C-alpha cells in the first residue's frame, strides 16, 4: 500500500516541478501566516521563557501543555503520555483525521526539552536586533514547535485542514533519551507506522536553503578491559602478559586503523579510565582511578560514540569492532557493549522526492531552491525513529539560527514566517488528489 502511495507522490513531484508561482490558495496561505506572525512571535517568547531542560520534568510538562492547549484550540484530539515508565517527563501527541479516510497521513515531529537546566544562567528570550533573538532552545527546537502550530493554524483558518490527516508527536526527552529506549520512543514509532510521510522541525544545519534527507544514527559504546596485575618489572613475561592499558590501547588503535575513513562512519572514545582500581559513574560521565607506576594496570574502561549513515554501515562497524576486541593480547580480556541508540535516517529515493516538492514550494514563494544537508552536518534526531516506517521523510524545517546547545543560541527570526509558509504550503500540496 505504501509502495503505491510512493508512486502517486512521485506524480505529485512531477506536477509541482512544473509550477513557477503560487496558486491563489497558496497566496492566501502565505498571507494568513504573515497576518498571524505577531501571535507566533508571542508564542515563541512564552515557550522559550519556560525552562524545559530535559530533567526539569515540571518545566517540560508545562511547555507540553502550552502546546497541547494550542492543538486543542485547533480541534485536535490531544494526549499527554506520562514518562515515568522511561524516567522522563513525557510526550505530547495530537491527532487530526481528514474527512476522507484515504487522505494522506503526515507525522509532524517536535520536541519540548532543551539542554539548559533549571539552574543555567541562560533562561530568557532576548531581542538582539530586528532579525536576531537569543533564547534557550529557541532554534532547538521551540521555534520548530511554533512553526508546526502556525502552519496548521493557517490551514485551519482557511478550511484546508480537513483534506489531510495529521499526527503530531513532541517528545520530552530528545536531548537526553529516557530508558528503556524502546519504551521512550514507542509513541513516536507507533505514529510513524500510521503515517505515510514524516516531517521534522529541527533546525538542521541552520541554513534556510537546506533541508535534511539523511541523518547519521548515533549509538554509545563501552569497552571493559581486564589484565593480570603484577609488579611492573614482569610485564611482557609469558606468564604475566601485557596488562589492561596496553590491551585497551591496541583495541582503540585498531578501531582507528580499520574504520577511520569508512563511508560516513565516525567513532570517538570520549572517556578512558585505567589503573589498579577504577570507578565510573555513567550518569555524570565521570570517574576516578588508582594506579601505581610499578604495578601493571588491572582494569580499563573506555566509553565512546559511534555514528553511521545506514544500518549496513552501522552493522559493519559493530562487527569489525567486536572482531578487534576478541583478538586479545596474552593474559587480557575485553568486552564491548554497544547500546541501542538512535538509528540512521538513510538517504532514500522517497526522501529526495519529498525534498524536491519542498524545494518547488520554496521557489514558488521566491525563497530559492532547497539543497540537501550534508549528513556530516546534521546530528541524530527523533525523525530517525520514524524514517524507516514511512514512504518519505524530511527534517530541518524549523526555525533557523546558530549556536544551538550553547549560551550563544540565536534565531534568525526572518526564517519564522518563511519556513511556516513553506511547511503549510507543502502540507497543502501533499493533501491534493493525485
Looking at the structure, do residues 77 and 120 belong to the same domain, yes or no? Answer: yes
Q: Report if residue 210 sits inside a domain.
A: yes
Indicate if the pLDDT at residue 433 is higher than 80. Answer: no
Quick one: pLDDT band at residue 199, thresholds 50, 70, 90? very high
If asked whether residues 202 and 260 sit together in one domain, one would say no
Q: Are residues 291 and 205 in the same domain?
A: no
CATH code assigned at 290: 3.30.70.360
Mean pLDDT of 372-377: 89
Q: Show which of 285, 316, 338 is a domain's final residue.
A: 338
Does any domain span residue 144? yes
Model confidence at 4: pLDDT above 60? no
Q: Name the band, by pLDDT with cuts 50, 70 and 90, for residue 376.
A: confident
Radius of gyration of the chain (CA): 24
C-alpha cell at 10: 512521485
Q: Strands 126-127 and 132-134, how do they pair? A: antiparallel
| C-beta separation of 15 from 418 below 8 A | no
CA distance 273 to 288: 7
Say yes or no: 334 and 253 in one domain: yes
Output the pLDDT for position 378.
76
The last residue of one of the domains, among 338, 358, 375, is 338
CA distance 123 to 138: 11
CA angle 255, 256, 261 (to 5 degrees): 115
Look up the CATH number of the domain holding residue 128.
Answer: 3.40.630.10
Residue written as grid cell 493557517: 154
pLDDT at position 23 is 83
Tell me the C-alpha distance between 395 and 378, whole Å: 10
- Say whether pLDDT at 425 is over 90: yes
- Can you give the pLDDT at residue 2? 58
- Tell me the C-alpha distance between 321 and 336, whole Å: 8
Confidence of residue 144 (pLDDT cuts 50, 70, 90): very high
Task: Find the range with the poorest average confidence among 15-19, 52-56, 419-423.
Answer: 15-19
Q: How far apart are CA 77 and CA 21, in angstroms?
A: 35
pLDDT by residue (tens digit) across 76-115? Answer: 999 999 999 999 999 999 999 999 999 999 999 999 999 9
Are residues 425 and 303 part of one domain?
no
Q: Domain boundary at 338, 364, 395, which? A: 338
Same domain, 144 and 23: yes
Which pLDDT band holds residue 379 (cuts at 50, 70, 90)?
confident
Are the C-beta atoms of residues 325 and 242 closer than 8 Å to each other? no
Tell me, yes or no, whether 279 lies in a domain: yes
Cα(171)–Cα(385) distance, integer angstroms: 12
Q: Stretch 277-306: mean pLDDT, rounded?
A: 94
Residues 225, 130 share a domain: no
Other beta carbons within 10 Å of 261: 9
Q: Look at residue 77 in the predicted model and tell me its pLDDT.
A: 98
Question: 49: domain range?
Answer: 7-215+345-431
pLDDT computed for residue 18 by the predictor: 44
Asked if 175 contacts 114 with a C-beta cutoff of 8 angstroms, the reply is yes
Say yes or no: 333 and 350 in one domain. no
- Indicate whether 233 belongs to any domain: yes
388, part of any domain: yes
Give the chain's domain count.
2
Whole-number pLDDT of residue 282: 85
In a domain, 37, yes or no: yes
**1 located within any domain:** no
Q: Within a domain: residue 229?
A: yes
For residues 209 and 236, membership in a common domain is answered with no
Q: Note whether 179 and 281 are same-domain residues.
A: no
Question: Chain centroid to CA 363: how far?
Answer: 26
- 148 and 34 in a common domain: yes
Question: Does residue 34 sit in the same domain as residue 167?
Answer: yes
Exposure string over 94-104, b if 16+ CB within 10 A, otherwise e: bbbebeeeebb
What is d(CA 330, CA 89) in angstroms, rounded to the nearest whole number?
Answer: 48
Amino acid at each position: 500500500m505504501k509502495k503505491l502511495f510512493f508512486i502517486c507522490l512521485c506524480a505529485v513531484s512531477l506536477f509541482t516541478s512544473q509550477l513557477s508561482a503560487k496558486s491563489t490558495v497558496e497566496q492566501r496561505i502565505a498571507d494568513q501566516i504573515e497576518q498571524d506572525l505577531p501571535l507566533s512571535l508571542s508564542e515563541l517568547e512564552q515557550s522559550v521563557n519556560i525552562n524545559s531542560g530535559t530533567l526539569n520534568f515540571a518545566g517540560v510538562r508545562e511547555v507540553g501543555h502550552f502546546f497541547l492547549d494550542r492543538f486543542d484550540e485547533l480541534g485536535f484530539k490531544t494526549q499527554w503520555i506520562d514518562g515515568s515508565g522511561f524516567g522522563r517527563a513525557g510526550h505530547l501527541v495530537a491527532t487530526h483525521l481528514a474527512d476522507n479516510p484515504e487522505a494522506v497521513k503526515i507525522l509532524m515531529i517536535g520536541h519540548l526539552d532543551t539542554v539548559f537546566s533549571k539552574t543555567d544562567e541562560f533562561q530568557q528570550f532576548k531581542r538582539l536586533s530586528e532579525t536576531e533573538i537569543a533564547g534557550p532552545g529557541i532554534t532547538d527546537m521551540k521555534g520548530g514547535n511554533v512553526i508546526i502550530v502556525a502552519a496548521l493554524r493557517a490551514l485551519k483558518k482557511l478550511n484546508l485542514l480537513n483534506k489531510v490527516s495529521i499526527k503530531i508527536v513532541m517528545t520530552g526527552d530528545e536531548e537526553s533519551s529516557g530508558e528503556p529506549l524502546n519504551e521512550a520512543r514507542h509513541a513516536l514509532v507507533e505514529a510513524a507506522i500510521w503515517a505515510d510521510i514524516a516531517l521534522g522541525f529541527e533546525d538542521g544545519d541552520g541554513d534556510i536553503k537546506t533541508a535534511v534527507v539523511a541523518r547519521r544514527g548515533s549509538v554509545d559504546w563501552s569497552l571493559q578491559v581486564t589484565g593480570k596485575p603484577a609488579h611492573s618489572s614482569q610485564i611482557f613475561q609469558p606468564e604475566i602478559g601485557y596488562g589492561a592499558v596496553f590491551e585497551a590501547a591496541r583495541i582503540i588503535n585498531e578501531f582507528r586503523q580499520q574504520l577511520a575513513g569508512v563511508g560516513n562512519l565516525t567513532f570517538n572514545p570520549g572517556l578512558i579510565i585505567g589503573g589498579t582500581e577504577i570507578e565510573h559513574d555513567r550518569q555524570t560521565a565521570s570517574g576516578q582511578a588508582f594506579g601505581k607506576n610499578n604495578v601493571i594496570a588491572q582494569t580499563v574502561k573506555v566509553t565512546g560514540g559511534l555514528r553511521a549513515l545506514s544500518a549496513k554501515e552501522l552493522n559493519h562497524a559493530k562487527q569489525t569492532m567486536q572482531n578487534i576486541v576478541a583478538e586479545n593480547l596474552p593474559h587480557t580480556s575485553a568486552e564491548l557493549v554497544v547500546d541501542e541508540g538512535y538509528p540512521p535516517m538513510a538517504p532514500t529515493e522517497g526522501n529526495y522526492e519529498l525534498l524536491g516538492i519542498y524545494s518547488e514550494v520554496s521557489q514558488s514563494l521566491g525563497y530559492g531552491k532547497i539543497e540537501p544537508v550534508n549528513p556530516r552536518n546534521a546530528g541524530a534526531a527523533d525523525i530517525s525513529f520514524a524514517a524507516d516506517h514511512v514512504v518519505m521523510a524530511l527534517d530541518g524545517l524549523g526555525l533557523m539560527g546558530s549556536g544551538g546547545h550553547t549560551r550563544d543560541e540565536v534565531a534568525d527570526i526572518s526564517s519564522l514566517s518563511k519556513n511556516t509558509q513553506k511547511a503549510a504550503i507543502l502540507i497543502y500540496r501533499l493533501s491534493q488528489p493525485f
